[in-house]
Structure 1
Amino acid sequence: MGTLNFFPNKTLRIAIMVFSLFLLVAIDYGIRVLTSVYKKDLGNGVVIYGDDYVRSGLWVFDCKYSRAISRERLPAPLAELSVLETLTFGQMYYFNGRDVASAKEAITAITAVPEWHKDLQYIYSGVGATSGDIVSHKFFVLADHAGVKWAVEVSESLRLSGSARFVLTGRPYNPETYVDHTKAIEAAVKSCPAPQQGL
């Protein structure tokens, strides 16, 4: 009695399964592209989709800046900031060179005060261009320095390792123009071509 060889059939089954998987992924992506309402085209073929965030009912998506804003304000990373040993300053594009030095001086003085971070408030979150996942959060706290009220901002960048990197910026606070959590949601709602749940 001859030996049966199942190898060709097994190889064919594996090939069909792999092809089917790729086909399902391609169909899912195609449907997402064709039906997406909440998105930001960054150019060069990169599009950030926010539909899943909006559908969850937990987030609002900003179609202008590709931000996701949690409807419930997220807690600030107080424990991590309490042990932060050195400050890392981010780019402060809204200042000229001389004013950047003044801003850094103000931020350094404000953050030298014990528990300076305890009243940090959540503003919005950043969505990754390649992953579509939340990759950062932004918070701010108001503080006085040299007779000026400052909004000190903390950007928390999330790493794959689970750790975070913190970058600080700041600007004199103007309640009329400063974008806090409420204003971020209002701007996000206006930035997209369709309403978002409950707004």
Structure 2
Amino acid sequence: MTWGHILSFSQNKGLWIAVMVFTPFLLLGVDYGIRVLTSVYKTDLGSSVVIYGDEYVKSGLWVFDCKYSRVISRERLPVPLAELSALDDVAIGEMNYLSRRDAGSVKEAIRAIIEKPEWYRNLQYAYSGVGESHKFFLLTDHAGFKWALEVDQILRLSRAYRFVVTARPHNPETYVDYTKAFEAAVKSCPAPQ
């Protein structure tokens, strides 16, 4: 073997290694570009942030809401009763949509509601976030008012769920339950689901 053959082989070897290393990245980039260009179910949040729901819709199990970038299971998800019954403490979430005074009275109502044994028994599925989060709700009475208690089930990195409870006075005209969320999602995108 001559020196020219050795140099030629080592140059080609470097080229082949570069091709093998960069080809998967190139293919992933092309695949992503095609998905972006052909996506029908998406929400543009601005600042180059776009939420895509095409994979959810294609699965046949979900409907994507192009307005609120959430997904709704075609069949209501079961309430995680076992996980809720095992909780020692329930986290009360921030309710930034309320004034500080109103948030304090709502937190008192939440505490009173969740102190009841098996308070979570009548929860119902409402909708899910893109990723592993699900919202459940409970319509209940407390202190002469009708309340919409909302429980968010959020998957942590440790693969354990965290539950956060919020509430608001119930207004049947504006409150979004499963039926309203599903109907709104179906109408929110430019293509049928």
Q: TM-score, normalised by structure 2?
A: 0.89
- Structure 2 Cα separation of the partners of residues 162 and 10 of structure 1: 43
Using a 3 Å threshold, how does the CA distance of structure 1 residues 7 and 81 change in structure 2: closer, same or farther? farther
- Please give the per-residue CA displacement for 1:42-98, whole angstroms capped at 9, x wherever unaligned: 222111100111111110001111101111111122112112222322222332221
Q: Aligned equivalents of 1:44 and 1:94: distance in 2?
A: 24
Which runs of no fewer than 5 residues in structure 2 stay unpaired?
A: none
Give deviations 1:23-58, integer Å, cap 9, x for gaps.
110111111111111101122211110011111111
Q: Is the counterpart of residue 174 in structure 1 residue 171 in structure 2?
A: yes
Which residue of the partner structure matches residue 115 of structure 1?
Answer: 118
Count of residue correspondences: 190
2:92 equivalent among 79, 89, 92: 89
> Aligned partners of 2:182, 2:13: CA distance in 1, in Å?
54
Q: Does 1:189 align with 2:182?
A: no
Asked if residue 37 in structure 1 is aligned to residue 37 in structure 2, the reply is no
Query: 1:142-171, CA deviations, whole angstroms, 9 ceiling, x for partnerless residues?
Result: 221112121110111111221111111011
For 1:139, which of 122, 132, 136 is the aligned residue?
136
Q: Provide the rounded CA distance (Å) in 2 between the counterparts of 1:43 and 1:26.
A: 21
Is 1:160 aligned with 2:157?
Answer: yes
The one-letter amino acid of 2:65's match is D
Q: CA deviation at 1:10?
A: 5.0
Does residue 24 (structure 1) correspond to residue 21 (structure 2)? The answer is no
Alpha-carbon deviation of 1:16? 1.4
Structure 1 unaligned regions, length at least 5: 128-133
How far residue 11 of structure 1 moved from its aligned partner, in angstroms, is 4.4
In 1: Cα distance, 2:119 partner to 2:143 partner: 16
Between structures 1 and 2, the one with greater helix share: 2
Aligned-CA RMSD value:
2.0
Q: How does 1:41-120 map onto structure 2 within 5 Å?
A: 41-120=44-123
Question: Scaled by the length of structure 1, what TM-score is found?
Answer: 0.87
Q: What SS does structure 1 have at the residue aligned with 2:132? A: strand
Q: Select the structure of larger CA radius of gyration.
A: 2
Separation in 1, partners of 2:121, 2:59: 30
